[in-house]
A and B are shown apart, each in its own frame.
Chain A
Amino acid sequence: MTHSPGPKFALPVAVFLLACFAMPIVIVAWYSLMPPRTFDLGIDLTLANYHTAVTEGYARPLMWSLLGALITTLGTALIAWPSAVILHRHAGRGATVVSVLIALPIFISESVRLFGMNVFLMPRAGILAGSLDWAFGFKIGSILNTWMAALVGMIYIHLPFMLFPLLLGVSLIPQDRIEAARDLGANRWQTFREVELPLAAPGLLIGALLTFVLSLGANAEAAILGGRAVTVITAAIEQRFNYAQDWPMGAALTMVVIIVTAVIVLPVLARLDLNRLTQ
């Protein structure tokens, strides 16, 4: 039997992954088991922080984060589906320009974009409120600094992460399958549910995973647009680490988020057949 040199070649990557991806999680997990307000890693392990996480009202920020991530995922999917179908049907130069315009903002800092959105949503002389007032004499109250504004920002920021995988998913639907479904008596909704959605599912699932995980960890939207109208879990974690100087508590909350994310994401990931995307 010959020995494959594979493991040796894989070693640098393995070391890199261990040092840069596994180690931080191990350190955070370790900190989460330290007594409150310690700054050293010791062997004096305790579950006190987890007890606090469950009893001291952190369920609420976590709930806001999960709900926000869910709404963002659904919202981006609802916007991205028709966009992806249109871009796919009209593939060509026009569609490429539109795709690039959607992708470009990714290269601009998220906070810059969110402050742009902030100007857009400002009350009275803000772009949205001012335009509506000027064009239609229609006055809207302030929507800035609400959870709704934070959600608008989340959907705005995360749309490309849903759109591009979905575009790939939509391109997996052969036109003749849609025609066959129509021919066999399916109306538009039935065609969508029975044929288009399952055939585009791999793209939709990847988009949903990306959007959900990114939204769950999002903080800036709630801060810049939401005006901290609601406290999301990432804000709570940041607070523990910075202002409260309670690293073990912040680490425990981080672990809770990681576990909750894993519980939600792993079953979806297990069902995903990436090979279908490359066929």
Chain B
Amino acid sequence: MADAMQDSRPVILSLAGFSKSFGEIQAVDNVSLDISEGEFLTIVGPSGSGKSTLVRLLAGLESPSAGRLLLRGRDITVIPANRRPTAMVFQSLALFDHKSVGENIEFAMKMKGVPPADRKARVHELLRLVRLPESFYARATTQCSGGERQRIALARAFASDPDILFFDEPLSAIDYRLRKALEVEFKDLHQRTGRTFVYITHSLEEAMVMSDRIAIMQAGQIIQIGTPEEIYGKPANRFVAGFLGEVNILEVAGGHFAGLDRPAPANARRYAVLRPEALRPGKGDVTADLTVVQRLMLGSRTQLFLRSPTGAPLISEVAGDAPEFERGTTYSFGFSPDNIAWVDE
């Protein structure tokens, strides 16, 4: 496992040998991880990878089967959720719809016994923080739009003045445009508040936009952790590479790229991961004649689905609308081995 950029910030949360099993199912399998003060860490994985269970363990909503959890060096493994200085934004948001917006936001302060006048002042501050009008104080949560409800959930989590904020896929049920806007806002909020954010999502694209570091989870384990650039440039295995979106994975057999019938370089390993934009029409160190099977226009670029003479599928991405690449035409495509990320499994 490639270790991530070790920044100089102190560790806020440290997991050691964290595991959780539900009967026969090992949801989280021996996860060890250090989260730095003020970082935006995103844990990405497909459904069933254990990422939601992991964050629920961190928030104290589940107790681990094994392992230890240290918050600034203090063991909080057995501390229940209500006594942890962390707050969670739930996938469903879990707003209290029997309470007003103001009552939702001030909930954590009320539980702590903060006097009503102080609570009200702080709620107005929090409404400003999440860019909601102060008139929302008395509004019913059921009268708020999806984006407004997201902001209320955020403000409510911030109200407890948490050391760490957890996000359990809060944007998964939101339409594309609003999601894009809120991703930028989450990142902005992270920068403005300097809090530690631990974000769970199944979308690597979402993770790329917001995170300082990304941890990829598969079958209960963290299989790679690093900066978005590291994940993108050096995926740890085919699973991570595939998670990045459409990508060419070429198997190397007998010193040749299988399916292309071209010799592989000396440093080749089992699989070559080649990004679509690295497979270009025209010249390259490795070239092959490929037939266009399908052409998809993506606005500023065009995606070409190709097939090699031996039938191997490949994807290329070219700028513009590339009208010459009609279906059925054959062109020479090439790539440089420098652009390949090699993986063994």
Choose among A180, A186, A199 the residue that contacts B90 (Cβ–Cβ < 8 A): A180
Stretch in contact with the other chain, from A61-69, A114-122, A171-179: A171-179
CB distance from A250 to the nearest CB of B (A): 44
The answer to whether A194 touches B107 (Cβ under 8 A) is yes
What separation, in Å, do the CA atoms of A185 and B112 have in the docked complex?
7
Residue in contact with A184 in the complex, picked from B80, B92, B98, B156, CB distance below 8 Å: B156
Q: Which of A180, A185, A186 contacts B94 (CB 8 A)?
A: A180
| B76 at interface by CB-CB < 8 Å | no
| Chain A residue at smallest Cβ distance from B112 | A185
Interface residues of A in 196-219 (CB under 8 A from B): 198-199
Q: Assess whether B111 is in contact with A184, with CB atoms less than 8 Å apart.
A: yes
Q: Pick the most buried of A186, A187, A190, A198: most chain B CB atoms within 10 A of its CB.
A: A186
Give A177's nearest chain B residue, CB to CB.
B94
Query: CA of A187 to CA of B108 in the docked complex: distance in angstroms?
Result: 11
B residues near A194, Cβ cutoff 8 Å = 96, 107, 110-111
**A interface majority secondary structure:** helix
Q: Assess A182 versus B160: contact at CB under 8 Å? Given A174-B92, A199-B98.
A: no
Chain A residues near B225 (CB-CB < 8 A) = none
Give Cα distance in the complex from A239 to B280, angstroms: 101
In the bound complex, residues from chain B placing their C-beta under 8 Å from that of A199 are: 98
- CB B199 to nearest CB in A, in angstroms, measures 16
Flag whether B129 is at the interface (Cβ < 8 A): no
- Would you call B61 an interface residue if the criterion is a C-beta within 8 Å of the partner chain's C-beta atoms? yes
Binary contact track B136-157/A, C-beta < 8 Å → 1, others 0: 0000000000000000000011
A185 touches B88 (CB 8 A): no
How far, in whole Å, are A182 and B87 apart by their CA atoms in the complex? 10
Closest partner residue, chain A, to B88 (CB atom): A183
Given contacts A184-B111, A185-B111, contact A179 B81 (CB under 8 A): yes
User: What's the least CB distance linking B247 to chain A, in Å?
Assistant: 36
A contacts with B, residue count (CB < 8 A): 17
Contact A182 B107, beta carbon cutoff 8 Å: no
**Min CB distance, A180 to chain B, in Å?**
4
State the CA gap A186–B113 with chains docked (Å): 11
Partner of A183, one of B87, B92, B110: B87
Task: Tell yes or no: A223 within 8 A of B by CB.
Answer: no
A148 contacts B by Cβ under 8 Å: no
B257 to chain A, nearest CB (A): 49
**Known contacts A179-B81, A195-B96, A198-B98: does B87 contact A184 (CB below 8 Å)?**
yes
In the complex, A181→B160 CA distance in Å?
11
Please state if A183 and B98 are interface contacts (CB–CB under 8 Å). no
B87-124 interface code vs A (CB 8 A; 1 in, 0 out): 11010101010100000000110111000000000000
Nearest CB of A to B297, in Å: 41
CA distance A190 to B108 in the complex (A): 11
Task: Check A190 against B111 for contact (C-beta < 8 Å).
Answer: yes
List CB contacts (< 8 Å) of A23-65 with chain B.
none
Kindly provide the distance from the CB of A181 to the nearest chain B CB, expressed in whole angstroms: 7
In the complex, which residues of chain A have a beta carbon less than 8 angstroms from the beta carbon of B81?
A: 179, 182-183
Chain B residues with CB below 8 A from A198, complex form:
98
| Contact of A182 with B98 at beta-carbon distance under 8 Å, contacts A187-B82, A190-B111, A194-B107 already known | no
Residue contact B107 to A176, C-beta cutoff 8 Å: no
Chain B residues in contact with chain A, CB under 8 A?
59-61, 80-83, 86-88, 90, 92, 94, 96, 98, 107-108, 110-112, 156-157, 159-160
- List 12 A-B residue pairs with CB atoms under 8 Å apart, sorted by A's residue number: A176-B90, A176-B94, A180-B94, A182-B61, A184-B82, A184-B111, A185-B82, A185-B111, A187-B82, A194-B96, A194-B110, A198-B98
Which 10 residue pairs spanning A and B have beta carbons closest together?
A180-B94, A184-B108, A176-B94, A185-B111, A182-B81, A198-B98, A186-B111, A182-B82, A183-B88, A183-B81
* Known A183-B82, A185-B112; further 17 A-B contacts with Cβ < 8 A: A176-B90, A176-B92, A176-B94, A177-B94, A179-B61, A179-B94, A180-B88, A180-B90, A182-B81, A183-B60, A183-B87, A184-B108, A185-B82, A185-B160, A187-B111, A195-B96, A198-B98
